[in-house]
Amino acid sequence: MPLIAETAVSGTAYSFDMLFSYAVPEKLKADIACGCRVLVPFGKGNKRRIGVVMKLSEGDKKGLKSLVSLVDAEPVISEELLRLALYIREHTFCTYFDAVKAMLPPAMSVSAKETFRLVKNFTDISSLSNEAAEFLEILSGTAGSKELNELIEKHIIDKGRHLPDELCDAGALDSDNVFRQAVGDAAVRMVRLTEKYMSAPEGFELTPKQKKVADFLEEFGSAAVREAAYMCGVTEAVVKRLCANGAAEEYEAEVLRRVEGDTDEKRSPQDIVLSDEQQKAHDTVLAQLFERKPAVFLLHGVTGSGKTSVFEKLIDDTVKMGRQAMLLIPEIGLTPQILKRFRSLFGERVAVIHSGLSLGQRLDEYKRIKRGDADIVIGTRSAVFAPLSDIGLIIIDEEGERSYKSDSSPRYSTHDIAKQRCAYHKSALLLASATPSIESYYLAERGVYKLLEMKERYQNSPLPEVSIIDMNLEREAGNRTEFSRRLAEEISLNLKNGEQSILLLNRRGYHTIISCCDCYQPVYCPNCSVPLTYHKKNNKLMCHYCGYVSDPVEECPSCGSKHLKNMGFGTQKLEEELSTFFPTARILRMDADTTFSRYSYEKSFRDFREGKYDIMIGTQMIGKGLDFPDVTLVGVLSVDKALYAGDFRSYERTFSLITQVVGRGGRGERKGRAILQTFIPEHYIMNLAAAQDYKGFYNEEIAIRRAMIFPPLCDMCIFCFAGGEDFSVKVGADAVLGLMNCKLRELQPKTPVRVLGPVRCSYGRINGKYRYRIIMKCKNNAEMRDYISGVLTESAKLKEMKGIALYADMNGDVGV
């Protein structure tokens, strides 16, 4: 009986995506399996595309095209993950292939290159059609392999595969498919000057921008491509042209010779001593592990309550049972610290997956996990797809962080994927945080999750004493600096006592914006509806959304006025002012500008822990999960703006950020203090965060969400539109709204639905694309998912949607 392969094909649009059926040739029957990648002919021109076999069945192959060849000798995706891919497609409205691709390390992506050669002894010309015979004669006159392949490739693009395929079938042409895997492309592309340029620079004609990059490389030897572009205030294209010119060359840098986290210290799980509260939480989850039934726990523990020790014990218990464990964390910056802890306990049994590793390293870690050499996986969001075969426990630390929700296709929630995997493996999912998401705590209150609480800090070290400083009074008293007098005194005291301080300011750059004194307009990015940020280090205006860079402007682009003023305060300016106030202080700045290409999270945090710096300043990346015993002072300089971010989650994020960063202090033997500076001291968020009163915050927040009907009281699907012209995007969004209302009238859904919009997104233009959104409050059930899928498919046929991109994001961010 003929074998049929139902295949997820790459490069399809959601509007016509499905599993495409192909006949399996006899020669491939013995080797093909579900989860293998294959090469398939696709579309009218039979263009070769990569696909993944999702299902195999016996059936009639009449009218079906045949698979061309197998890419993999064995499946790259397990049966469990294939089932998960179907779940992801249904819940995130992506294509089948995108769902599968998300599960594989980037280094495993393959491209196919087809090569042809003429068969020398072919004589059966009479079997060919006239067209094919003429084409063969043209091919026979080519000068060599390169010309032959270029001619056939051009013919396939212009006229399709009909004639090349006829010649192959008749035996006049041979065709081979070469698969190239992206292994070895390092995460960091470095650039350096060539020896030829170094010995005779005068022999090169460089543009002024290229000369700037060359001078920079001459001084520093080498740099990441991205770093060189940033420091010279040019685009990466300038660096590439310098390489094309022969003056510089790109090369791959092994960011880390092996995955970081080595430790000389060896610990035993038996040495971990748990407090009564920790033991109680541990024992409850352990009982569930023995039962081998899926369950979700929410561990709500105050900052410093020792959640990591509970994780270590539970992971030890899990691997002793012969099962595997996974620990997910929200930020790459936390990985080295966590990895070091777990490697000291479990050695090489720990694998790590995150985007800061080179492609080769990620591939090697993936192979170690698949082979069974590692049974503990630590990583960020994508690690949830690690190819473990017998998961006993998944832990999601700092579970309320939004980084666990993917904002590009497939737009999955890590929590949902973890629940699916735990259901399949009959294992426990442990969500943990000092500030759980409102959704998780709501489910715990209703008994869907089992709530575990740790209300005391480990070894009873007290929470920092928090002072809220009214910055309005500081301004009235003539203090125009960003430091209240109280914060300046406390920093002085810490420096005198040899204790460390952390200052959080959630804005990188120098001045936040440059504004016109006449028309009051800020200087906007030409590609985005976002003001540019001034960066003093390279004396440039930069857009943090699309990467646009320009020199500081002399006049207002809106009205031509030369009266411009710098407004706002970023981490670069804070560093400069701190150095002025405290000239002897050793200051470490941690934000995306200082860490993006130097991979210095680990080194900087280690240096700070070892006492090489007195003060660490940074954005929200320093507020989460880090443990510095010598930090006794935490200052929060400005989070007021975050409260009004235009998203219903802005209160939750602000409360979480303040609570987390305040919790960094007083973790050692000395008591901690925290200073919270604000222009709205009476706001209940400030007071509840200062008191670390999560329950009080939750009660306030859930009341607002209930009144306004926001998640978790409903689900919210965001339909996002983007295109090159503002008016056409609005027209397209209106047309889709009409389609949605029409389909809703037909459907008469069983659960209430409310459609809002279309409205312009908070940032109405990003990277040259105008953006609108429609928000739909609904219930995330099969009926509504089917409806959303129908809207996406049918909207592609609307003439108003020509040239406009649309995607749907269930419970995604509203305020972007």
Query: What pLDDT, in 10s, does the model give residues 65-104?
Result: 999 999 888 999 999 999 999 999 999 999 999 999 999 9
Distance between CA 574 and CA 487 in Å, rounded? 13
pLDDT for 511 beyond 80? no
Crossing angle of helices 694-708 and 650-662, in 10° steps, is 170
pLDDT for 512 beyond 90? no
Does 528 count as an annotated binding residue? yes
Cis peptide before 410 (omega within 30 of 0): yes
The 3-state DSSP class for residue 622 equals: helix
Query: What pLDDT, in 10s, does the model give residues 316-348?
Result: 999 999 999 999 998 776 667 788 889 999 998
Better-scored residue on pLDDT, 392 or 595: 392
* β-strands 673-678, 587-590 pairing: unpaired
Distance between CA 745 and CA 747 in Å, rounded? 6
Q: What band does 688 get if pLDDT is binned at 50, 70 and 90?
A: very high
Does 556 count as an annotated binding residue? yes
Q: Is the domain defined by 269-455 classed in CATH 3.40.50.2000?
A: no
pLDDT for 184 beyond 50? no
Please check whether the two domains, 269-455 and 465-508+570-705, share a CATH topology: yes
Query: What pLDDT, in 10s, does the model give residues 18-67?
Result: 999 999 999 999 999 999 999 999 988 788 899 999 999 998 888 899 99
Better-scored residue on pLDDT, 417 or 181: 417
Crossing angle of helices 335-346 and 307-320, in 10° steps, is 40
Find the helix or strand (DSSP H, E) in which 502 lies. strand 500-505
pLDDT for 124 beyond 60? yes
Amino acid 598: pLDDT = 36
Query: What pLDDT, in 10s, does the model give residues 536-582?
Result: 767 888 887 777 888 888 889 888 998 888 776 677 788 888 999 99
Query: What pLDDT, in 10s, does the model give residues 780-812?
Result: 999 999 999 999 999 999 999 999 999 999 998
Distance between CA 105 and CA 268 in Å, rounded? 32
Distance between CA 536 and CA 526 in Å, rounded? 20
Q: What band does 153 get if pLDDT is binned at 50, 70 and 90?
A: confident
644: which residues sit within 8 A by CB, 6+ positions away? Answer: 650
Crossing angle of helices 694-708 and 438-445, in 10° steps, is 90
Distance between CA 787 and CA 804 in Å, rounded? 20
Q: What band does 227 get if pLDDT is binned at 50, 70 and 90?
A: confident
DSSP assignment letter at 669 = S
What's the order of all strands across the beta sheet hosting 47-58? 20-23, 3-9, 47-58, 37-42, 69-70
Distance between CA 626 and CA 753 in Å, rounded? 42
Looking at domain 188-253, which of 3.40.50, 1.10.10, 1.10.1760, 1.10.940 is its CATH number?
A: 1.10.10
Model pTM score: 0.83
DSSP, residue by residue, 184-241: T--SEEEEEE-HHHHH-GGG----HHHHHHHHHHHHHSEEEHHHHHHHHT--HHHHHH
Q: Give strand pairing partners of 525.
A: none
Q: Helix and strand tally (H, E) in the chain?
A: 26, 32
Does 168 count as an annotated binding residue? no
The amino acid at 572: Q
Does 761 count as an annotated binding residue? no
Query: What pLDDT, in 10s, does the model give residues 615-661?
Result: 998 877 776 656 788 889 999 987 787 787 668 898 999 999 888 88
Contact between residue 435 and residue 701 where contact means Cβ atoms under 8 Å apart: no
Amino acid 256: pLDDT = 38
Q: What is the 3-state secondary structure (H, E, C) of 400-412?
A: CCHHHECCCCCCC
Q: Which of 325, 318, 313, 316 has its CA nearest to residue 274?
A: 313
Amino acid 727: pLDDT = 96
Q: How large a percentage of the chain has pLDDT more than 90?
A: 54
Decide: residue 525, CB within 10 A, 0-12 exposed, 13-18 middle, 19+ buried. Answer: buried
Does 742 count as an annotated binding residue? no
From first CA to last CA, the distance across the chain in angstroms is 54
Q: Which fold has domain 465-508+570-705?
A: Rossmann fold (3.40.50)
Q: Give strand pairing partners of 718.
A: 775, 809
Does 34 count as an annotated binding residue? no
Q: What band does 585 get if pLDDT is binned at 50, 70 and 90?
A: very high
Q: Give strand pairing partners of 566.
A: 514
Does 525 count as an annotated binding residue? yes
CA 167 → CA 66, 129, 177, 411, distances in Å?
17, 10, 16, 44
Distance between CA 172 and CA 166 in Å, rounded? 9
Q: What is the dihedral of CA 710, 712, 714, 720, to 10 degrees?
A: 70
pLDDT for 185 beyond 50? no
Average pLDDT on 667-676 reads 82
Q: Which of 572, 525, 585 has its CA nearest to residue 768?
A: 525
Amino acid 522: pLDDT = 86
Question: Into which CATH architecture does domain 715-810 fall?
Answer: 2-Layer Sandwich (3.30)
Query: What pLDDT, in 10s, does the model give residues 342-364?
Result: 999 999 899 999 877 777 788 88
Distance between CA 223 and CA 114 in Å, rounded? 36
Q: Which of 321, 299, 212, 767 has its CA nearest to residue 540?
A: 212
Does 714 count as an annotated binding residue? no
What's the order of all strands across the beta sheet hosting 188-193? 222-224, 188-193, 248-253
Q: Which of 724, 735, 725 has its CA nearest to residue 774?
A: 735
Provide the residue ranges of all domains of the chain, joining segments of one domain with +. Answer: 3-109, 113-181, 188-253, 269-455, 465-508+570-705, 715-810
The 3-state DSSP class for residue 626 equals: coil
pLDDT for 599 beyond 70? no
Query: 3-109 maps to which CATH number?
Result: 3.40.1440.60
In this structure, what token pair is assigned to residue 529?
Answer: 């509806």
What's the order of all strands across the beta sheet hosting 769-778? 754-766, 769-778, 715-723, 805-810
Computed over every residue of the chain, the mean pLDDT equals: 88
CB atoms within 10 A of CB 586: 15
